Chains A and B, each alone.
Chain A
Amino acid sequence: MSRIPVSALIGLILTGAFFFTAIFADFLAPYGLNQTVGDVWENPFWSEEPSQYLLGTDNIGRDLLSRMIYGCQITIFLATAATVVSFTTGSVLGFTAAVLGGWIDQVMSRIVDLFMSLPSLILALVILSVMQVTLPVLVIVIGLLDSTRVYRLARAVAVDIVVMDYVEAARLRGEGTRWIVLREILPNALSPLVAELGLRFIFAVLFISTLSFLGLGVQPPLADWGGMVKENKEGLVYGVSAALVPAITIAALAISVNLVADWILNRTTSLKGGRGA
Chain B
Amino acid sequence: MPDILLDVRNLKIGATVYPPGEAPKDIEIVHGVSFQLEKGKVLGLIGESGAGKSTIGLSSMAYGRGGVRITGGEVFVNGRDILKAGAAGLRALRGREVTYVAQSAAAAFNPAKKIMEQVIETTLMHGLATRAEAEARAVALFGKLGLPNPQTFGDRYPHQVSGGQLQRAMTAMALCPEPDLVVFDEPTTALDVTTQIDVLAAIKEAIHATGVAALYITHDLAVVAQVSDDIMVLRHGKTVEYGTVSQIIETPKEDYTRALVSVHAIAHEEKPATAEPVLKVENVTARYKGTNFDVLKNVSVELHPGQTLAVVGESGSGKSTLARAITGLLPPSQGRITFAGRELSRELKDRKLDDLRELQMIYQMADVAMNPRHTVATIIGRPLEFYFGLKGDAKRKRVQELLDEIEMGRGFADRYPAELSGGQKQRVCIARALAAKPKLIICDEVTSALDPLVAAGILRLLLDLQKIEGVAYLFITHDLATVKSIADSIAVMYQGAVQRYGGKTDVLTPPYDDYTDLLLSSVPEMKLGWLEHVLAHRKMESAGN
Chain A interfacial positions (CB closer than 8 Å to B): 1-2, 164-166, 168-169, 171-175, 183-184, 187-188, 274-277
5 more A-B contacts (CB under 8 A) besides A171-B329, A277-B20? A166-B368, A171-B348, A172-B348, A173-B383, A174-B356
Contacts of A174 in B (CB 8 A): 351, 353, 356-357, 386
A276 to B432, CA, bound (A): 22
Q: Are B365 and A165 in contact, with the CB atoms below 8 A?
A: yes
Q: Separation in Å of the A266 CB from the closest CB of chain B?
A: 14
Question: How many residue-residue contacts, CB under 8 A, span A and B?
Answer: 53
User: B18 to A277, Cβ gap below 8 A?
Assistant: yes
A183: chain B residues at CB < 8 Å are 371, 374
User: What are the residues of chain B within 8 A of A175 when measuring CB–CB?
Assistant: 386
A163 to B187 alpha-carbon distance, docked (Å): 28
Shortest distance between the CB of B84 and any CB in chain A (Å): 28
**Cβ of B370 under 8 Å from chain A:** yes
B372 at the interface (CB under 8 A from A): yes
Cβ contact of A165, chosen from B359, B363, B382, B383, cutoff 8 A = B363
> Is A173's CB under 8 angstroms from B356's CB?
yes
Give A196 Cβ to nearest chain B Cβ, in Å. 18
- Chain A residues in 8 Å Cβ range of B373: 187-188
Q: B382 to chain A: which residues have CB within 8 Å?
A: 173
- Chain B residues within 8 Å of A275, by CB: 66
Interface size for B (C-beta < 8 A) is 31
Contact B348 A165 (CB under 8 A): no
Are A184 and B371 in contact, CB atoms less than 8 angstroms apart? yes
A79–B199 alpha-carbon span in the complex (Å) = 61
What residues on A are CB-neighbors of B20 within 8 Å?
277
Among candidates B66, B327, B372, residue contacting A172 with C-beta atoms closer than 8 Å: B327
CB B104 to nearest CB in A, in angstroms, measures: 15
**When the two chains form their complex, are residues A172 and B361 in contact, meaning their CB atoms are under 8 A apart?**
yes
Question: Is B418's CB within 8 Å of the partner chain A?
Answer: yes
In the complex, which of the residues B328, B351, B363, B373 has the most CB atoms of chain A within 10 Å of its own CB atom? Answer: B373
Compute how far the CA of A156 lies from the CA of B359 in the bound complex, rounded to whole angstroms.
Answer: 31
- B369 close to A (CB within 8 Å): yes
Known contacts A168-B329, A169-B361; is A274 also within 8 Å of B368 by CB? no
* Alpha-carbon distance A172/B374, docked complex (angstroms): 18
Can you list 20 A-B contacts with CB-CB less than 8 angstroms, sorted by A residue number? A2-B24, A165-B368, A166-B369, A166-B370, A166-B371, A171-B329, A172-B328, A172-B329, A172-B348, A173-B356, A173-B383, A173-B386, A174-B353, A175-B386, A183-B371, A187-B373, A188-B372, A274-B18, A275-B66, A277-B18
CA distance A96 to B348 in the complex (A): 19
Are B369 and A165 in contact, with the CB atoms below 8 A?
Answer: yes
Complex Cα–Cα for A240 and B493 (A): 84
Contact indicator per residue, chain B 341-361, by CB within 8 Å of chain A (1) or not (0): 000000010010100110111
Docked CA distance A50–B24 (Å): 55
B77: shortest Cβ distance to chain A, in Å? 28
Give bound CA distance, A175 to B349, whole Å.
10
Binding site secondary structure of chain A: helix
- Bitwise interface map of B from 13 to 46 toward A, beta carbon under 8 Å scored 1, else 0: 0000010110010000000000000000000000
Whether A188 touches B18, Cβ cut-off 8 Å, given contacts A165-B363, A277-B418, is: no
Provide the bound-state CA to CA distance between A2 and B382, in Å. 33
**Known contacts A169-B361, A169-B363, A173-B386; is-contact A187 B18 (Cβ 8 Å):** no
Closest approach, in angstroms, between the C-beta of B446 and any C-beta of chain A? 12
Least CB distance from B440 to A in Å reads: 12
Instruction: Known A172-B348, A277-B18; judge A164-B368 contact (CB<8 A).
Output: yes
Contacts of A184 in B (CB 8 A): 371
Task: List the A side residues contacting B18 at CB < 8 Å.
Answer: 2, 274, 277
CB contact under 8 A between A276 and B418, given known A184-B371, A187-B371: yes
CB of B492, distance to nearest CB on chain A (Å): 26
Q: Closest Cβ of chain B: how far from A170's Cβ, in Å? A: 8
B113 CB → nearest A CB, Å:
25
Q: How far is the CA of A39 from the CA of B386 in the complex (A)?
A: 71
The CA-CA distance from A169 to B323 in the complex, in Å, is 13
Complex Cα spacing A165 to B327, Å: 13
- For window 357-414 of B, CB contacts with A under 8 Å fall at 357, 359-361, 363, 365, 368-374, 382-383, 386
Could you say which residues of chain A place their CB within 8 Å of the CB of B356? Answer: 172-174
Q: How far is the CB of A160 from chain B (nearest CB, A)?
A: 11
Asked whether A188 and B371 contact (CB < 8 A) given A274-B18, A276-B418, the answer is yes
Q: Nearest Cβ in chain B — how far from A188, in angstroms?
A: 6
Provide the bound-state CA to CA distance between A175 and B383, in Å: 10
- Interface set, chain B 317-350, CB cutoff 8 A to A: 327-329, 348
Q: How far is the CB of A181 from chain B (nearest CB, A)?
A: 13
Of chain B, the residue at the smallest CB distance from A163 is B368
Assembly CA distance A187 to B370 (angstroms): 13
Q: Which of B160-184 contact A (CB under 8 A)?
A: none
Provide the residues of chain A in CB contact with B386, threshold 8 Å.
173-175
Top 10 A-B pairs, shortest CB-CB distance: A187-B373, A165-B369, A174-B356, A166-B371, A165-B363, A165-B368, A164-B368, A166-B370, A277-B418, A166-B369
A166: chain B residues within 8 A (beta carbon)? 368-371
Which partner residue on chain B sits nearest A186 by CB separation?
Answer: B373
Question: Which of B21, B328, B363: most chain A Cβ within 10 A?
Answer: B363
Contacts of B436 in A (CB 8 A): 173
Give the distance in Å from the alpha carbon of A175 to the alpha carbon of B385 in the complex: 12
B448 to chain A, nearest CB (A): 14
- Min distance, Cβ B172 to any Cβ of chain A, angstroms: 29
Complex CA distance for A169 and B418, rounded to whole angstroms: 18
Closest to A273 in B: B66
Chain B residues with Cβ below 8 Å from A171 are 329, 348
A183 to B357, CA, bound (A): 20
A182 to chain B, nearest CB (A): 12
Provide the bound-state CA to CA distance between A271 and B288, in Å.
36
Measured CB to CB, the closest approach of chain B to A229, in angstroms, equals 44
0/1 interface trace, chain B 423-454, chain A, CB 8 Å (1 if under): 00000000010001000000000000000000
User: Within 8 Å CB of B363, what residues of A?
Assistant: 165, 169
Write the chain A residue with the least CB distance to B354: A174
Most chain B CB atoms below 10 A, which of A171, A172, A275, A276: A172
Complex Cα–Cα for A184 and B20 (A): 22
Give the complex CA separation of A88 and B492 in angstroms: 51
CB atoms of A169 and B369 under 8 A apart = yes
Whole-angstrom distance between the Cβ of B22 and the nearest chain A Cβ: 10
CA distance A235 to B373 in the complex (A): 56
Expressed in whole angstroms, the Cα–Cα distance for A2 and B371 within the complex equals 25
Neighbouring B residues of A277 by C-beta, 8 Å = 18, 20, 418
Distance (Å) between the CB of B377 and the closest chain A CB? 14
Chain A residue with the shortest CB-CB distance to B21: A1
Residue among A1, A168, A173, A275 having the largest count of chain B Cβ atoms under 10 Å: A173
Which residues of chain A are near B24, meaning CB under 8 Å?
A: 2
Tell me, in angstroms, the Cα distance from A187 to B436 when the chains sit together.
24
Q: How far is the CA of A184 from the CA of B383 in the complex (A)?
A: 14
Alpha-carbon gap, A187 to B66, bound state (A): 27
- Minimum CB–CB distance from B168 to chain A (whole Å) comes to 28
Docked Cα-Cα span, A166 to B351, in Å, equals 20
